[in-house]
Structures are given as C-alpha cells and as structure tokens.
Amino acid sequence: KHAQAAGADLVMAWPPYYGPRSEEGMHAFFKRLAEAVDIGICTYSSTLSELGYYLTPEQVAKLAEIDTVCAVKEASLSLDKYSAMMMEAGHLLAISSPLEEYHLYGLEAFGPEIMPKFLFGSSRPLYMQSAQKPHCADFMQAVERGDLPDARRALQDILRVAIQLHSKFLGKGQH
C-alpha cells in the first residue's frame, strides 16, 4: 500500500519468508496482495539462497490469472529454468531476467513479441557502467533498435567485466 500511495505503478514482491511456502500458500499470498492494492505486481522467482523459493513455470502461469500480476523477475540463473518459464508463461505476462545474456537469448529463442522491453533488477549498471563506458546502455539501445549483432558486441563487453567481478559469487549461489 505504501508503494501505491507513493505513486508507484508497480510493486515487486518477493515470496514470503514465513507461512505456508507451498504452491497454494504462494498463490494465496499474491491473491491477497492483489486484493490490497490497485497497481501491478511483479513477483520474484529465484533459486538464490537468500530468497529460498523458486516459483515454477506452472505456478507462474497460475499467478498470471490474477489480473494485477503482470511480471516476473526470473532469477534462477539457469538457462533451462528460464527457458521453461518463457515457454510456459512468457505469453501470459512479462518474464524478465536480470542478466543481459538471458535477455538476448530470449530475443533470439522466443522473439521480440514475447520478450519484454526491459530487464528487472540487473545490478550490472551499478558496477560496470560509466559515462565513458556505457556498456549496459549500449546493449539496451541496440536491443531497442532491433540490432542484435550490435547487442551481441555490447554483451561481450558486459561479460568481460561480469566474469571478473560477479560471476564467481553467482556460481556459488550467492548474490
């Protein structure tokens, strides 16, 4: 309610840490949240240890039946899981990964009509982008132009930095 009162159009809600952490419990949580606010809801689906609950593609498809659930940040860091999520629910709501390489893969595999035009929660712009080296901005601008070869080139710059600074932690299931 605070986000809505502040003028937000969307709230990102993580699955609850406590209470019934089952498929039915998660659905009830998001249904109750949808009844409490009149803005869009994005849920977080992750296998990262600090979250500890992965919403399956089938659960997400069921959540898409709630009118205001409109997006999912799919952060499993698994191309198999991301692909399954896109195949099951990508046509129902916006599925976004925080990783540019998954976004590019999604464009290639599922097409621009299914892929959202944004990335949710990429931390990379915070630690690898500057006015002199706008790697992430270059990537998104290329995607927006539909220039996938240029997006691939920008992605190579992003990955060179990410591999050095971030990937070793993600590989251990840490954020």
Q: What does the pLDDT profile of the chain (175 residues) look like in tens digits?
A: 889 999 999 999 988 877 667 889 889 999 999 999 999 999 989 887 666 689 999 999 999 999 999 999 998 889 999 999 999 999 999 999 988 999 999 999 999 999 998 888 777 777 778 889 898 899 999 999 999 999 999 999 988 888 877 666 665 655 5
**DSSP secondary structure letter of residue 3:** H
* For helices 135-145 and 100-110, angle between their N-to-C axes, nearest 10 degrees: 10
CA angle 29, 33, 39 (to 5 degrees): 145
Instruction: Give residue 141's pLDDT.
Output: 95
143-159 CB burial, b ≥16 within 10 A, e <16: beeeeeeebeebbebbb
Cα four-point dihedral sign 35, 38, 40, 44: negative
Report the DSSP beta bridge partners of residue 69: 41
d(CA 71, CA 169): 26
The Cβ of residue 136 has, within 10 Å, a number of other Cβ atoms equal to 21
Biggest alpha carbon distance in the chain? 49
Do 139 and 99 contact (CB within 8 A), yes or no?
no
pTM summary value: 0.85
Instruction: Give residue 147's pLDDT.
Output: 96
Instruction: Give residue 173's pLDDT.
Output: 54
- Catalytic positions, written as ranges: 44, 73
Instruction: Give residue 110's pLDDT.
Output: 96
